[in-house]
A and B are shown apart, each in its own frame.
Chain A
Amino acid sequence: MKRVLSVVALTAAIFAVQSASAQTLKQVKDRGILNCGSNTGLAGFGLPDAQGKWTGLDVDTCRAVAAAVLGDPNKVKFVPLSAKDRFTALQSGEVDLLARNTTWTSSRDTQLGLNFTGVNYYDGQGFLVRKGLKVNSALELNEASVCVQQGTTTELNLADYFRANNMKLKTVTFASSDEAVKAYDSGRCDAFTTDASGLYAERLRLATPGDHIVLPEIISKEPLGPAVRHGDDQWFDVVKWTLFAMINAEELGITSKNTDEMLKSSSPDVKRLLGAEGAFGEQLGLGKDWALNIVKMVGNYGEVFDRNVGAGSNLKIDRGLNKLWNKGGLQYAPPVR
């Protein structure tokens, strides 16, 4: 009888596994560590360095969430995910948050049951070609072979662009970006296509980066952003406002270096954001100093951009669309009040 009981108990344990949908914030706090879905390796966005420390724009987004929720930007476990596995990993609860240069599209937002929390990088798809081909525009690529990573919006945009311009296309599809780039480098394809930010990152890995150019055409809108699961509004708010806090901090001139002085600021906007006034952190289910931690430990949006992909990095990508709204870009965050 005892044995029967233990079997029943075991079965109950197996079956009681609930889909972890509604309490992500509590789970993360209890666990003491944030599980973050990351790229397997894309310079500027998510890449472990020689010491095994993850760096990148998406990585810093995760660190900012960890700083806001747990008060420590290093309490993050990065789970490297391929383009294929990323949505399943988020849906099944393996990761709390997916920050993996993922394009916000309607079908991902609805059918896959994700919630995109904002846009941390406005991107667009471009082409990388050899200088020797003497191609100046993507419109001259009729009948070209193009290497592309599968399972991406890139693959679909590519087919659409060639169809819309009545051009013939030969795609060679690879499971990972690595393999696609390698095949392009060895001459299998005339062009390699991915988001423009990725093109700059991948170009650095080619045998002779100087022999390749990025064509001027941007053929698609690729708003990249972090995503969470449907059905957990509290967690959705936390991740969303983490990004907003970074953008607001840049707008208000708060940087990781001057947080202590800014705490004494008389500006009500700064006071509200840094928790010196009001209870906006508590309303999110976080501490008073949530935004202070983000900026102090990770930085504001401008610092993070500059350090990972902008002038302070190897990629040296122009801020372009990612400038603040009041500087001619698209980055705009609702106010904290």
Chain B
Amino acid sequence: MSTELKAGSPPASVPFYNDPKVRSIAYQVALCLIVAALVYGAASNAIENLQRARIASGFGFWNNVAGFDISQTLISYSNVSTYGRAFWVGLLNTLLVAALGIVFATILGFIVGIARLSKNWLVSKAAQFYVEIIRNLPLLLQLLFWYNAVLKALPDLRDSLKIPGGLVVNNRGLFLPAPQAQAGFGFVELTFLFGVLAAIAYSYWARKRQEQTGQQAPVLLVSLGLIVALPLVVFLIAGMPLTFDYPQAGRFNISGGLEIVPEFAALLFGLSIYTAAFIAEVVRAGILAVSHGQTEASYSLGMKPGPTLRLIVVPQAMRVIIPPLTSQYLNLTKNSSLAVAIGYPDLVQVFTGTVLNQTGQAVEVVAITMAVYLTISLSTSFLMNLYNSRMKLVER
């Protein structure tokens, strides 16, 4: 545009306000100023109105005593703790259910996705049935179903199911024997840590050697030996320094042991099963996106089906799978806020529920909660993008 203007050499008498360049800049500046003024006006007006209605009055509540109890706490918490502490309890509960949900949904999703491509008619139809049923029902309904189904189906405290090995199941939850480390267990932990590091070093060495000489090493077997067998041997030598705290039935509840509350179980179950249906479709799409010619080419080079899948198909499929998988992970994390419907003390239930109520600080509490979810989601997608860029096609 500017070159054209130069070429046309404009008449000298054009005043500056008729210069299209000056005009467009002036319009842009004016627009920016108006937008800024609007935002400022709206914000200050909102703050003033909120203050007049006594809806907003700062973050001073953070260090006040909360005064309520929470049913599941990963860090120590009592009703004399602060609202800030309650926030962390809720956040950790959210992260726990989201992290476990992502792991289970991924495993189940990959299994179902691959099963849908199976040549066995029954297996592929079963997988399709699962996906179509689960994917097309609202998650909230499913959560309520699992929660009420789990609760109603389980026996009372007095008729608790006792599973061999010290497990107890009733409508108050699942109780596991809690392992208690005794003196000498530290050695086992140290050996385990050493085993993990040694396995990493070994696989690094094996890869280097294969790159140079083409010789393969039994990486899986050696790693298993280092990580599992070695600590086990130390554990036996040290005289099995581990005891279990078994759950005991009290008058009202079961005391001792490790408690998994039904709200948590229902939420984890519901989220995993729901998200797995979507992940299954993502996986199926990813695998189908790899052209069959790749497999045939691999076979014609003499590769067996196992290595073909592992070295040829999956790496290419992952490139298609990872981006939509990321959004499924984000969905799962955000959907965990539906916990509020079934009484699981996640961030929304504890913080945007009870804390908001007891303090009345709606604006601050909701703003903090939104910031937290945004942070979790952005961190998740940052990590997945890192992974994606590692898996990306490297062009030479």
B356 to chain A, nearest CB (A): 7
| Partner of A143 from B52, B252, B353, B356 at Cβ < 8 Å | B252
Per-residue CB contact flags for chain B residues 43-59 toward chain A (1 = under 8 Å, else 0) read 00100010011110100
B250 CB–A CB distance under 8 Å: yes
A12 to chain B, nearest CB (A): 10
B294 CB–A CB distance under 8 Å: no
Q: Is chain A's binding surface mostly helix, strand, loop or mixed? A: mixed
Chain A 155-203 residues near chain B, CB threshold 8 A = 155-156, 158-160, 162-163, 169-175, 179-180, 182-183, 186-188, 190
**Which B residues lie within 8 Å of A107 (CB)?**
360
A256 CB–B CB distance under 8 Å: no
B151 CB–A CB distance under 8 Å: yes
A27 CB–B CB distance under 8 Å: no
Asked, given contacts A150-B349, A170-B253, whether A83 binds B357 with beta carbons under 8 Å apart, the answer is yes
B245 CB–A CB distance under 8 Å: no
Asked, given contacts A151-B356, A175-B353, whether A187 binds B151 with beta carbons under 8 Å apart, the answer is yes
A252 CB–B CB distance under 8 Å: no
Chain A 209-262 residues near chain B, CB threshold 8 A = 229-230
Which of B342, B349, B357 neighbours the largest number of chain A CB atoms within 10 Å of its CB?
Answer: B357
Contact between A173 and B55 (Cβ–Cβ < 8 Å)? Answer: no
Per-residue CB contact flags for chain A residues 1-31 toward chain B (1 = under 8 Å, else 0) read 0000000000100110111010000000000
Q: In which size bucket is the chain A interface? A: 35 or more
Which of A113, A173, A182, A186 neighbours the largest number of chain B CB atoms within 10 Å of its CB?
Answer: A173
Contact between B360 and A173 (Cβ–Cβ < 8 Å)? Answer: no
**Which B residues lie within 8 Å of A159 (CB)?**
67-69, 79
CA distance A229 to B52 in the complex (A): 11
> Which residue on B lies nearest to A82, using beta carbons?
B357
| Partner of A230 from B54, B252, B263 at Cβ < 8 Å | B54
A260 to chain B, nearest CB (A): 44
Contact between A150 and B171 (Cβ–Cβ < 8 Å)? Answer: no
**Which B residues lie within 8 Å of A93 (CB)?**
53
A81 CB–B CB distance under 8 Å: no
Contact between A143 and B255 (Cβ–Cβ < 8 Å)? Answer: yes
CA distance A17 to B53 in the complex (A): 13
B75 CB–A CB distance under 8 Å: no
| Partner of A151 from B38, B53, B152, B357 at Cβ < 8 Å | B357
Per-residue CB contact flags for chain B residues 176-208 toward chain A (1 = under 8 Å, else 0) read 000000000000000000000000000000000
B227 to chain A, nearest CB (A): 38
B307 CB–A CB distance under 8 Å: no
A66 to chain B, nearest CB (A): 24
> Which residue on B lies nearest to A169, using beta carbons?
B69
Contact between A15 and B55 (Cβ–Cβ < 8 Å)? Answer: no
Asked, given contacts A160-B79, A163-B79, whether A170 binds B71 with beta carbons under 8 Å apart, the answer is yes
B233 CB–A CB distance under 8 Å: no
A136 CB–B CB distance under 8 Å: no
**Which A residues lie within 8 Å of B262 (CB)?**
188
Contact between B67 and A179 (Cβ–Cβ < 8 Å)? Answer: no
B104 to chain A, nearest CB (A): 24
Contact between A174 and B343 (Cβ–Cβ < 8 Å)? Answer: yes
A137 to chain B, nearest CB (A): 14
**Which A residues lie within 8 Å of B69 (CB)?**
155, 158-159, 162, 169-171
A312 to chain B, nearest CB (A): 34
B140 CB–A CB distance under 8 Å: no
Binds B, one of A38-46, A84-92, A273-281, A294-302: A84-92
**Which A residues lie within 8 Å of B67 (CB)?**
156, 159-160
Q: In which size bucket is the chain B interface? A: 35 or more
Contact between B357 and A156 (Cβ–Cβ < 8 Å)? Answer: no
**Which B residues lie within 8 Å of A188 (CB)?**
151, 171-172, 262
Contact between B356 and A91 (Cβ–Cβ < 8 Å)? Answer: no
Asked, given contacts A84-B357, A150-B354, A170-B71, whether A91 binds B250 with beta carbons under 8 Å apart, the answer is no
Contact between A183 and B354 (Cβ–Cβ < 8 Å)? Answer: no
> Which residue on B lies nearest to A91, using beta carbons?
B53
Asked, given contacts A187-B151, A188-B151, A188-B262, whether A173 binds B79 with beta carbons under 8 Å apart, the answer is no
**Which A residues lie within 8 Å of B251 (CB)?**
142-143
Contact between A173 and B349 (Cβ–Cβ < 8 Å)? Answer: yes
> Which residue on A lies nearest to B158, using beta carbons?
A132
CA distance A260 to B342 in the complex (A): 54
Contact between A92 and B252 (Cβ–Cβ < 8 Å)? Answer: no
Asked, given contacts A19-B52, A169-B69, A175-B353, whether A141 binds B252 with beta carbons under 8 Å apart, the answer is yes
Contact between A183 and B343 (Cβ–Cβ < 8 Å)? Answer: yes
Q: Known contacts A170-B69, A173-B353; can you find 12 more A-B pairs with CB under 8 A?
A: A11-B38, A21-B53, A84-B353, A111-B57, A142-B252, A143-B255, A160-B67, A160-B79, A170-B253, A175-B343, A187-B151, A188-B262
- The 20 listed contacts between A and B (C-beta, < 8 Å) are A15-B42, A17-B49, A19-B52, A21-B53, A93-B53, A112-B54, A145-B252, A151-B356, A155-B69, A156-B67, A162-B69, A170-B253, A171-B69, A172-B261, A173-B345, A175-B349, A179-B342, A182-B148, A183-B151, A187-B151
A interface residues, Cβ below 8 angstroms from B: 11, 14-15, 17-19, 21, 83-84, 87-88, 91-93, 107-108, 111-113, 133, 141-145, 150-152, 155-156, 158-160, 162-163, 169-175, 179-180, 182-183, 186-188, 190, 229-230
The 6 closest A-B pairs by CB, nearest first: A151-B357, A113-B54, A159-B79, A144-B252, A171-B69, A91-B53
